[in-house]
Every structure is written in C-alpha cells, then in structure tokens.
Chains A and B, each alone.
Chain A
Amino acid sequence: MITYLVLRTSATHSDTRFAQGIRLSSTTETKTLRKTALNSLHRRFGAKMVDFGGWDMPVEYPASGGLMKEHLAVRTAVGMFDVSHMGDILIRGPQALEAAQWVSMNDVSKLQEGQAQYSALLYPEGTFVDDVIVHKLGQNDYLLVINAGTREKDHSWVRKNVSRFRCHADDVGDYYTQIAIQGPKAEATLQKLTDVDLSQIKNYWFKHGTVCGLPNTLIARTGYTAEDGFEIYVPSDVATSERVWNEVAEAGKEFGILPCGLGARNTLRLEGKMALYGHEISDTINVWEAALDRFCKMEKGDFVGRSALEKAKAQGLQRVLVGLEAVDRGIPRDDYKVFDGAGKQIGYVTSGSYAPFLKKNIALAYVPPEFSEIGTEVFVEIRGQQVKCKVVPTPFYKRPKKAA
C-alpha cells in the first residue's frame, strides 16, 4: 500500500501540477523543516505531522477524532488551528498607502483603520504571486497576511515593488503565533478570554485588546473555513503560545472544541470555494479566470498587473473555475483531467475531495466557458475511468445567516 497525501503544499508551483503527492509517512525530519512555536505541543497531542510548504505542520489529530470530526466541529461548534506558518508583511511609512495600492489589486484606500480586505499580489501578467488579507493598522501602517509556502517569494516581491515609495516592507511573520478559532461557537469561546466586546467586530474587521492577559493583541474576524471565526496574533515564544492555545482549548471545552489540522482546513475552505495558491490561483492563472473580479478594483488607479488584466478582459475568457459534484462513484482529486462527453480533455481539477459536511464528492475545476452552465455534464478521469460529474452552483457550502 503506497499512500499519497492529497493535500499539497500551497507553494506548489503550477509546473509541478502533475507531480505525485507527498508520501504520507509522516514525522520524518530528514530535511530541516520550519516549526511553529506550537510544534512540540502538536506532537504531544499525537498530531500527524507533514511537510507543508517547508513547514512541519499537523495535518490531523487522530487522538481527538481526526479530520472528519475536526471538519464537523468547525461547521457545528468550534475548532482551533495553528496557522503560525502564515506569513506577515508590514508595510509602513509615509507612502505606505500608495505602496499597498500598487502591489495589491483591491482598493486599499477604501479601508478604514481596523478593517481588512481580501486581495492579491499580481505579476505584471495579471497572474498571481499570492492571495493576501490586507489589514489597515493605521494611517501609514498596513499588515499583509500571506501564505506559508510563498513567504520568501512574496516578501522579496513586495520589497522590490514598493522600493520606489517612501516606506518599509518588513517580514514580521516570525514574531507572531497565529491561532484561528473558527465555527459558530468561536465568539462564545474567545469572548471568555478577552475584554474586547467581540460582537462589535464585524466580519473582516479587527480590534486590539487583551487576550489571555496579553495586552494589545490583534483580534481579527477573519478565517479560511467559510464559517464565522477569529484569528488572533500573539507573541511567538513557546511558553506564551502554548499557554494561549491551552486557554482557548479550555474555554471551548463546553462547546466541544477540537484542535484542527491542515486536512480539515483544506476541506473546509474547499466547501466554501476559497482559493488556495498552487491550485485555484497560481502564476499561470489570471484574476478573471479565478473569478475573483469583486476583489480587483480596476478603477482605483494603476497597480501591478492592471494593464495585462485589461487586455485579458478584452480578449475574453478561455477557461473558468466551476464547481463539480460527482454523479457516479468516485472522488475527483487535485490535478485529475476533465473531459467532455465525446472524450476530449477540456480541463483539470484544481482541488477535489470528499466533502465531510456535505457528504458528497466535490471539486473545483477549470473548463472552457461553454461548459460552465449549472447542470452541464462533464467527466473526470479517475484511474483510467471516466466518472460522470455535473456543474453545480458554488460555493458548495454557505454558512446559515445568524438568527437576529
């Protein structure tokens, strides 16, 4: 039995798309992997560890139930994730706003202090360097939260591109342990540990306050699970990080909180159709193809990638991202080929999995626009067999509106 892990690193470059996955045999440390401050805690909890973008990260915690239970905990109660491997770039200086406008595609000038926005860093070709969340900390102070596997690339790219503005771009990722608390009971869990009234933080806004006795802690109502939740940024020393983790776990106990790994993080974001670098977005896919139009503000002024995007728009789309659901038995997986009824290859799957909450086999795939209509039948090749799938509306999962 040779086991290949399907979850891939976000650093995966598009040209390695057809390369095989990572061997599951975990906890090997033959090459030097980076570790978060919570690494030894994860190991004490018996987490299954994998190399994710050069980081030694928990993929699931079998001792407390494993991936499926973790996924369901986030959908129905609360789960917590160590996401300290994510990178953080601070752009600071008198021209920080201009610089942030130039390197990212969303309109940073629309942000108020305490507000965040989903955005992306683009190449001049209009394709992706990475996707980011831009936080406005202050008038001359912006925090970009980026992917783990692309940290060094992103940082050097940002530095290079902001050099003509009066500002600094510093990689501050190592200073923070980032913990995500996600799920309908996330607010009730975290509220026990902070003096900030969390009900006053709107989605994609943040505040600073005391968390677990730590003053001036960044609390953002953001996440990557398609569920309500928070991400907190605490000092990255082991003692503080472990103390905060344990206090969150204790606070969430009455709701059945579970520690969650990257496996659940991946299936949760897939159900919510959230893009993952190296999959739905990459250096060969542009903004229109990825259908991230609403985060790209062409009218805000010039930015890296804008002119290429203008041209691409005029030319029209060659491929679009669609949601698929398997009709026949079989799980469409990352990189599997997509065919039309006549047996011609028309595209490929970017992410696919069994969806633990929806209990269906789902996938995101790039296909030509004529195959994007809801209900269209396409076929995904799974180990030599054509498995029938249909195009379905996305996101596959949308969280229920909160009762007033």
Chain B
Amino acid sequence: MAYPKEYKYTKEHEWIHPQGNTGLVGITDYAQESLGDIVFVELPKAGAVVGRGKSFGTVESVKAVSELYAPASGKVTEINQDLNQAPETINKDAHRAWMIKLELSDPKELDSLLTAEQYEAYVAEEKTH
C-alpha cells in the first residue's frame, strides 16, 4: 500500500493530511495490518482540545488495544462517526478512514513529522526487528 506523499506521519503510526490550518488524522496501513481486524474505535467529542503526542482515543482489534496519539496540537472540529458503526473501514482503506479533523494550533508542528519516504523507511526497519 502506497503512503500518500501529501500526508505526514508519526512513529506511533498515525497520519495527518494537512489542509491549510486543519488536518485529517488516521492510522497508517502498517498500523491496521499489525492490529488485525478492527472492531472498536473510541474518539473524542468535537470541541476537545488535544496536545501533540497526547492520546486522543483508542482503537481495538479483536486481540489488541492501542492508544491513538495526536500528530499535532489542536482542537477537534469533527469526528468520523461512520467508524463507530463500521470500524472495519480502517482495515479496508486506512489512509482514507480518517478519525478526527483537527484545527491546528501551530501548523509548523507538522514540519517535524515524517514524510512518506521517511515513514516507509521507518516501517521497513521496524519490520526487520
């Protein structure tokens, strides 16, 4: 699965798709593959403020529980309600199954995130461990 070039990535396997001062956030294809069948997503309410690197929710597969960490600070303006009913969407198309929309406090924070190439290299490295 190709990692979109216009996204930025975290080492915790989240992606953010920046659009001006906002960004959509989800988990990467590698993350969904490691988790297996996703059956539950817990997301914050719209209006919640999240800090960079802080947990904003949880994703669960049948056998694993995993925290979700915000790639950047900001206010949650929207959440993807569809995931409550159909969490398996994340397995099917992780890079489109966004979880939250963030209004970024400081778009410059994104500069320190990984590019698609860097993330791919990071994952390749992680796989060999």
Number of interface residues of B (CB under 8 A): 28
Interface string of B37-75 (1 = CB under 8 A from A): 101101000000000000000111111111111000000
Find out whether the CB atom of B27 lies under 8 angstroms from the CB atom of A1: yes
* Number of interchain pairs (Cβ within 8 Å): 76
Given A2-B66, A68-B37, A28 and B129 touching (CB < 8 A)? Answer: yes
Find out whether the CB atom of B13 lies under 8 angstroms from the CB atom of A354: no
CA of A59 to CA of B65 in the docked complex: distance in angstroms? Answer: 15
CA of A25 to CA of B31 in the docked complex: distance in angstroms? Answer: 11
The reply on A4 being an interface residue by CB < 8 A is yes
Number of interface residues of A (CB under 8 A): 29
Contacts of B129 in A (CB 8 A): 25, 28
Find B40's partner among A4, A5, A68, A354 (CB 8 Å cutoff).
Answer: A354
Find out whether the CB atom of B67 lies under 8 angstroms from the CB atom of A60: no
Shortest CB-to-CB span from B63 to chain A, Å, is 5
The reply on B12 being an interface residue by CB < 8 A is yes
Find out whether the CB atom of A267 lies under 8 angstroms from the CB atom of B126: no
CA of A266 to CA of B61 in the docked complex: distance in angstroms? Answer: 14
Given A2-B66, A3-B34, A66-B37, A331 and B60 touching (CB < 8 A)? Answer: yes
Interface string of A37-61 (1 = CB under 8 A from B): 0000000000010000000000110
Find out whether the CB atom of A331 lies under 8 angstroms from the CB atom of B63: no
For the complex of A and B, the 8 pairs showing the least CB-CB separation, nearest first, are: A68-B37, A354-B39, A1-B12, A3-B66, A1-B13, A263-B63, A1-B66, A3-B64
What residues make up the interface of B, taking CB atoms closer than 8 Å to A?
Answer: 12-14, 27, 31, 33-37, 39-40, 42, 58-69, 84, 126, 129
What residues make up the interface of A, taking CB atoms closer than 8 Å to B?
Answer: 1-7, 24-25, 28, 48, 59-60, 62, 66-68, 263, 266-267, 329-331, 333, 353-354, 356, 361, 383
Known: A263-B63, A329-B84, A354-B39. 20 other contacts (CB 8 A): A1-B13, A2-B67, A3-B34, A4-B64, A5-B63, A6-B64, A6-B65, A7-B63, A25-B34, A28-B129, A67-B36, A68-B36, A266-B63, A329-B40, A333-B65, A353-B63, A354-B60, A354-B62, A361-B40, A383-B42
